[in-house]
Amino acid sequence: MGAASDTTAIDRAFDVPGRSLWIDARRRLTANKAAVSGMAILAIVTLAAIFAPLLSPYSYDATDYGVISCAPDWWPGSIIACRAGGQHWFGTDAVGRDLFVRVLYGARVSLAVGLIATLVSLVLGVGYGALAGFVGRRCDELMMRFVDVLYSLPYIFLVIVLMVIFNRNFYLMFVAIGAVEWLTMARIVRGETLSIRHKEFIEAARAAGVGRFATIGRHVIPNVVSPVVVYVTLTVPNVILAESFLSFLGLGIQEPLTSWGVLISQGADQMGSAPWLLLFPSLFMAATLFSFNFIGDGLRDALDPKDR
């Protein structure tokens, strides 16, 4: 073993590209079949929702009294009252609107509610939690006590009150649901922040004269990302469920716009005579929620391999 070969060995060792946490995590995630199929389903649903007007000749609010509650052509059974014909792949609803287009438009609303409300909860929760955890002591105690108080509110009741008061305002619903979901996020981020608060790199930042908020933004938050990412993917399905719950009670999206919750509750009314009206929205919603949950579980396993 000469000195020269040692250096080349070391050089070679340095030539191997480093593997960051994220590269490792991505590898583990792509190896997880459930998570990958979840992502595929989600991508398909999202694309279909975005390009909904191009996929079908029908408009989401055009009624056709010739085909009221008609089954799609391929629907089995002989006692079906009528066949929708044409390009009504999922049949038609009680006022003759095309169900396929309405399911996709419902996807637009449901996914938008899911994403925007989650974003609201993300911004609120991460900011609040990181601040509480980083500042610590009395401030932390006070801030988390406030979260505890909000936590014990029967929140869905407050959302219902809000929706009634502000007359089913579309945007308010995003905010109301998001403002409720940020609590858990704040708790998670605060706990993580507490645990890294006294690590050396934070001390180094302080020694180098980095300001408090800059430290939180540049050093604390990037290091709490992985539990946050996992929780975000699990929040989206919760939010979608909450929206559909409100819609079911008649407090959500108003006609002619629609969401999966609205479609499902309308489908449930006609389930005996026109089961497809319940089946397709439920299938889409269940598939989407499944996907988010699988991705969330996959991410958790990928980012935190010790729990496997």
Binding site for another protein (CB under 8 A): 148-149, 152-154, 156-158, 160-162, 164-167, 237, 241, 244-245, 248-249, 261, 264-265, 268, 271-272, 278, 282, 285-286, 289-290, 293
Q: How far is the CB of 271 from another protein (least distance, A)?
A: 5
Q: In which residue are the tokens 């694309």 written?
A: 47
CA distance 197 to 191: 10
Q: How far is the CB of 267 from another protein (least distance, A)?
A: 8
Token pair for 282: 């439920």
Q: In the beta sheet, which residues pair with residue 98? A: 92
Give the 3-state secondary structure of residue 34: helix
Nearest to 295 by CA among 210, 208, 235: 235
Q: Which is nearer to another protein, 198 or 308 (CB)?
A: 308
Q: How far is the CB of 290 from another protein (least distance, A)?
A: 6
Q: Which is nearer to another protein, 98 or 243 (CB)?
A: 243
Q: What is the DSSP letter of 306?
A: G
Q: Which is nearer to another protein, 125 or 237 (CB)?
A: 237
Q: Which is nearer to another protein, 153 or 214 (CB)?
A: 153
Q: Which is nearer to another protein, 221 or 285 (CB)?
A: 285
Q: How far is the CB of 306 from another protein (least distance, A)?
A: 12
Token pair for 29: 């995630």
Helices 260-269 and 225-248 sit at what angle, rounded to 10 degrees?
A: 40
Q: How far is the CB of 9 from another protein (least distance, A)?
A: 40
Q: Which residues contact 217 (CB under 8 A, 6 or more apart)?
A: none
Q: Which is nearer to another protein, 7 or 169 (CB)?
A: 169
Nearest to 133 by CA among 255, 249, 227: 227
- Contact in structure between 184 and 124 (CB atoms under 8 Å): no
Q: How far is the CB of 241 from another protein (least distance, A)?
A: 6
Q: Is the peptide bond before 72 cis (omega within 30 degrees of 0)?
A: no
- Contact in structure between 219 and 205 (CB atoms under 8 Å): yes
Q: How far is the CB of 15 from another protein (least distance, A)?
A: 39
Q: Which is nearer to another protein, 58 or 292 (CB)?
A: 292
Q: Which is nearer to another protein, 223 or 282 (CB)?
A: 282
Q: How far is the CB of 165 from another protein (least distance, A)?
A: 4
Nearest to 266 by CA among 284, 288, 281: 281
- Contact in structure between 92 and 84 (CB atoms under 8 Å): yes
- Contact in structure between 49 and 111 (CB atoms under 8 Å): yes
CA distance 245 to 173: 12
Q: Which is nearer to another protein, 69 or 215 (CB)?
A: 69
With vertex at residue 258, the alpha carbon angle to CA 160 and CA 56, rounded to the nearest 5 degrees, is 165
- Contact in structure between 107 and 260 (CB atoms under 8 Å): yes
Q: How far is the CB of 102 from another protein (least distance, A)?
A: 17
